[in-house]
């Protein structure tokens, strides 16, 4: 399901507003979505790197102590 920018902002605000005292703006929603995207991108990179490093360790025949 693709959302428009406005729909994404509204959804983000509806999820995060209960956790904040001040009223969230569309700019706050954009920043939250951008930060979450960056966070999960880094996690995916780490997971990919970990999988690649694990595969290389298994093919080299050596075990790290």
Higher pLDDT, 39 or 50: 39
pLDDT tens, 25-48?
Answer: 999 999 999 999 999 999 999 999
Per-residue confidence (pLDDT) for residue 32, from 0 to 100? 97
What tokens does 45 get? 């990179």
C-alpha angle 38-54-42 in degrees, rounded to nearest 5: 5
- Mean pLDDT of the chain, nearest integer: 88
Q: How far apart are CA 16 and CA 12, in angstroms?
A: 6
């Amino acid at each position: 399901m693709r959302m428009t920018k406005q729909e994404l902002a509204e959804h983000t605000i509806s999820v995060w507003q209960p956790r904040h005292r001040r009223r969230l703006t569309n700019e706050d929603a954009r920043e939250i979505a951008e930060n979450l995207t960056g966070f999960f991108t880094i996690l995916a990179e780490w997971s990919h790197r970990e999988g690649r490093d694990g595969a290389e360790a298994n093919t080299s025949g050596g075990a790290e102590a």
